[in-house]
Structures are given as structure tokens and as C-alpha cells.
Amino acid sequence: MAVEVRVTAVLQRVVGGARTVQGQGETINQLLEFLDRTYPGFKEQVLTADGQLHRFVNIYKNDEDIRYLGQLQTAIAEGDVISILPALAGGSR
């Protein structure tokens, strides 16, 4: 099953400059495995060495944060849009 994966600038370097790529899997974790096989080094940009999502990375399934769904075990289906974004902070005083 194919899903669209949207990535930001840091990950665009890993996937050859594209803003979106196609991926597959039944869960977010399987999708990340697929993307790492297709684009070596992808997973280390998103997950810690022990396989947890980096604190500063947010993953959304159709605009819903996977932290409030099933985290890395969140099920995905054909046609879903997965967005992988760095967490943003800051602002003015």
C-alpha cells in the first residue's frame, strides 16, 4: 500500500531533494524501515539508537500527531499522508 510522505529540508537532503516521496508499510515503523532501505540514513534522522522517536521530530498521519495515536505502531493505509517535521520552538519575548 502506497502512502505519501512529506519531508522538510533536513530530510530532503537524504531523499535526493524531493519534498514528497512514496513509501509503504502497515505501520509508521514499517514505513520508516522501508524509507531507510530506499534512502539509507533516513531512519537515523528520525529515530534514536534504541528505536524511539527523537524528541525534536514530529510525525503526523493525515494531520494527527502519532504520539496521540499508536506512536510508531500507528496503522497506515493506502492514500494516507504522512508528514515528518522537526519540532519548532522559539518566539519573541
How far is residue 40's CA from residue 68's CA, in Å, rounded to a whole number?
28
Q: Indicate the pTM of the whole model.
A: 0.89
Q: Looking at the domain assignment, is residue 91 inside a domain?
A: no
Average pLDDT over residues 1-23: 91
Q: Looking at the domain assignment, is residue 33 inside a domain?
A: yes
Q: Looking at the domain assignment, is residue 16 inside a domain?
A: yes
Quick one: cell of 55? 524528541
Q: Looking at the domain assignment, is residue 36 inside a domain?
A: yes
Confidence band (pLDDT; 50, 70, 90) for 90?
Answer: low
Q: Looking at the domain assignment, is residue 93 inside a domain?
A: no
Q: Looking at the domain assignment, is residue 20 inside a domain?
A: yes
pLDDT, tens only, 25-72? 999 999 999 999 999 999 999 999 999 998 889 999 999 999 999 999
Q: Looking at the domain assignment, is residue 82 inside a domain?
A: yes
Residues of the domain holding 7? 2-86
User: What region, left, alpha or beta, does residue 31 occupy, with left being phi > 0 and alpha being psi -120 to 50 degrees?
Assistant: alpha
CATH number of the CATH domain containing 71 = 3.10.20.30
CB contact at 8 A, 31 and 23: yes
